Structure 1
Amino acid sequence: MSDTHVAALVGNGLSISVNNQMTLRSITTEVVARIGESDGDDVSVAMRGIADRALPDGAGSDGDFEVLLGAFDAERRNLELLEVLSAATGQRDDDELQQAIRRTARFAERVRDSGVSHALEVIAERSRANEESSGALREFVRAIVTEFTGDVSFGNLNYDTLLLASLLRECKDEVADMGHGQLGGELTIAHDWSIAGYPLRQCADDFPATHRVRLLHLHGSLAYWDDGTGTHLKISRDRVTPELWRAVRDGNCSARPDVVLTTQHDKATAVEATPFRLPYEMFGTALRGSTHWLIVGYSFRDAPVNKMLRESFDGHELPKVLVITHGDSPTRSEVERALGWDPECDGNANWLSIDREGAAGAHERHRWSRFVR
């Protein structure tokens, strides 16, 4: 029997199965609280003003996470447009105006970086799973890599390292992520503080052919950083400390986390840039080459991800698709629509199965059995 390939798209629901404080609403509530408690410098005052304007009544839904972080990024992007506009209106030579715009843009970047650092710090703290919960995740991961003997490609939408930790426990010698296996870079935080890192892979050929399990962080990771000069590195999880987040907020380092944290509108542009373009391309290739698609804890509300799914599904020999969620969302019609399937024209989606009991123990339920056989 030939090997069977699987492409597994993983969203926030998988992290929630490990720690129920990983819901986006809960994270947003904590981020807003920390912003409110932050020191009274100009950046903190600006952050509180933006947060109050974006979420005047606090966090009421998972979607507010993107609203809040998108609001911080929008201020920076608006100033980029202002600089273009000033040039287009013949004011390119107005040095005083240009300098004022650039100063304000740098300030907006600090505000954005502070907001992002608060969010990622909360995620980092809460992604340290207890043994029982992480054990359930490892069992699920073990079932996936054992059942599918061909290529196993994970497209991870989470910023935490929970899935990576489980993969390293279950199949360390078979897994490769975006980081090269040998140290070869250095992330400079301050003149007397640097962190050794692994350069991120730059093309598909950089992944070792001997490793059939690939972890592709589509929107970045707590451990992925831009050193400020365009060099992208992975650092060890244990080096992602409160002191590192504080350095980002204080404006004392040029390094920034490599993550996509912006509005849906701007995500489409962000994922075309390095280092996100490569994992998107590779996961799209994995989808088109896999007979089985496993989608875990994903809301089907992310436009670039839905586009990738739809384009990979179109013209593809119908894969078997198992969606694992918790509760009534997403609906079957929402899944079909995201994949470009029209029941009136295309008939019943017999290829699709939905398990609504959550990720924990999913490999022990009957829908999993039907999916893998």
Structure 2
Amino acid sequence: MITTELVRRIRAASDGGDDVVIAMREIAARALPDGVTSDDDFEVLVGAFGSESRTLGYLRRLAELTEPQDDGLRDAIQRVSTFAERVRDNGLSHVLQVIFENSHAYMDESEHLHAFTRAVTTSFSGRVTFANLNYDTLLLSGLLSVCSSSEVADLGHGGKKWTATRTDGTKIKVPALRESKHDFKDSQRIRLINLHGSITYWATKDGRAFAKLSREHLEDLEQWQGVRDGTTSLRPVVVLASQKDKSAHVQEFPFSLAYEMFVDALADSDHWLIVGYSFRDVPVNAKLQAEFNERALEQKPRVLVVTYGDDLSVREIERAFGWGQEDGSSVNWLTVVRSGANGVETTEEWADFHNS
């Protein structure tokens, strides 16, 4: 379990008693007071570290508002802000490094992913948009394995480059992130939008430049350690936040662009395939519900929800779309597959979905 490994690394970090590590451990202990028991703990834990970003924003604004003559108070606020930044960077770098290493480990078990992505991209002749909530690169790798690279695009810009400095001081050219949906070409039929960022999306600390680093750049792990040591000026661009804070985070670039494209994709499509989603993400649910409710009854999209087991009820799904009991049965637009994503493309439900 990723959560277990993450907690183990936090507990093992810097036994010398560094104040930042002590604070990081306390945040983890407070987020998981009863120990690591389920996958849900991961969202709770990363949300605890992600909330430090909001704290930093408040502290910096407070420092700006402090009376100019009160140098001591302003300096104290700045010291606290700097400390909170180090705590956040340490926590988030551990989170994303564990995700990166785990996604690399699963690359050899990709047959099911390739079969799934091949089925999705070949079953529909128009534009196919994948809106991904994971931070890893597994889906992108799957798409590039079964599709022509010229028709696949994510937020990484193929034309614009940005110069990044590695932790050893060497300069490399990396793709800049796209700034607008107009940066995508019409020929790029398969689009991947990481709604909450990716382990490969990074930015300068001042937030003025955004780029996509390669897996090779992250492979030697120096970049993750550089974040913790403060030897790199780059920071990962991801939404790691509690549900309470997430709505505010996604209004910032590049997440705002990803959500804009998500809304456009929902509006342009009559087939919505939802895989492995718990329907607990407030910003995502809001976009799904807004577009669903915008359509007349006879124009509702065909929705195929792929989950595993019986934990997610049909009623929960209906509520996420704004479909009330007074609206009657959802059978005309909703189908649920409970056997998981592996092999879903071979089921009768899939055949009915893409042929409708």
| Class of the TM-score when normalised by the shorter of the 2 chains | over 0.9
Q: Tell me which residue corresponds to 2:227.
A: 248
State percent identity of aligned pairs.
Answer: 49
Gapped regions of structure 2 (runs ≥ 5): none
Higher relative contact order (CA 8 A, sep 6+): 1
The answer as to whether partners of 2:136 and 2:198 remain within 8 angstroms in 1 is yes
Aligned partner of 1:348 in structure 2 is: 330
Q: TM-score, normalised by structure 1?
A: 0.88
Q: Does 2:118 correspond to 1:118?
A: no
Question: How far apart, in 2, do the equivalents of 1:162 and 1:45 lie?
Answer: 33
Q: In structure 2, do the counterparts of structure 1 residues 93 and 64 end up closer, same or farther at CA, with 3 Å as the change threshold?
A: farther
5+ residue gaps, structure 1: 1-25
CA pair 220-329 structure 1, distance change in 2 beyond 3 A: same
Deviation at 1:128, TM superposition (A): 1.9
Contact 1:179–1:198 (CA under 8 A) maintained in structure 2: yes
Q: Which stretch of structure 1 is more off in the superposition, 224-233 or 290-299?
A: 224-233
Q: Does 1:59 align with 2:36?
A: yes
Measured against aligned partners, the alpha-carbon deviations of 1:86-133 in whole angstroms (never above 9, x if no partner) come to 777x75642211111111111111111111111111111111255662
One-letter code aligned to 1:245 = W
Q: 2:116 is matched with which residue?
A: 140
SS state of the match for residue 150, structure 2? coil
Please name the residue that 2:155 is paired with.
178
Structure 2 counterpart of 1:237, from 199, 215, 220: 215
Which residue of structure 2 lines up, in the alignment, with residue 72 of structure 1?
A: 49
Amino acid across the alignment from 1:64: D
Q: Give the residue type in structure 2 aligned to 1:233.
A: A
CA deviation string 1:40-88 (max 9, x = no partner): 3221111111111221222222222222222223345335435656777
1:107 aligns with 2:86: no
Q: What does residue range 200-349 of structure 1 map to in structure 2 within 5 Å?
A: 200-229=177-206, 230-241=208-219, 242-316=221-295, 317-349=299-331
Q: Give the distance between the partners of 1:29 and 1:225, measured in 2 at CA.
A: 26
Contact 1:204/1:282, CA 8 A, preserved across alignment? yes
| Structure 1 residue 183 displacement after superposition | 5.6
Tell me the distance in 2 between the aligned counterparts of 1:160 and 1:269. Answer: 22
Instruction: Give the conservation status (yes or no) of the 8 Å contact 1:324–1:358.
Output: yes
Number of corresponding residues: 347
The amino acid across from 2:306 in the alignment is I
Per the alignment, residue 3 of structure 1 pairs with none
Q: Distance in 1 between matches of 2:335 and 2:54?
A: 41
> For the Cα contact (< 8 Å) 1:187–1:227, is it kept in 2?
no
Root-mean-square deviation over aligned CA pairs: 1.9
1:50 aligns with 2:32: no
Tell me, what secondary structure is at the counterpart of 2:191? Answer: strand
| CA contact 2:50–2:92 (8 Å) conserved in 1 | no
Change (3 A) 1:73 1:144: closer
CA deviation vs aligned residue, 1:137-194 (integer Å, no higher than 9, x gap): 0011000011011110000111000000011111122111111113611222447134
Asked whether the 8 Å contact 2:303–2:334 carries over to 1, the reply is yes
Task: Verify the 8 A CA contact 2:89 2:228 in the aligned structure 1.
Answer: yes
Q: What is the CA–CA distance in structure 1 between the aligned matches of 2:245 and 2:171, rounded to whole Å?
A: 31
Q: TM-score, normalised by structure 2?
A: 0.92
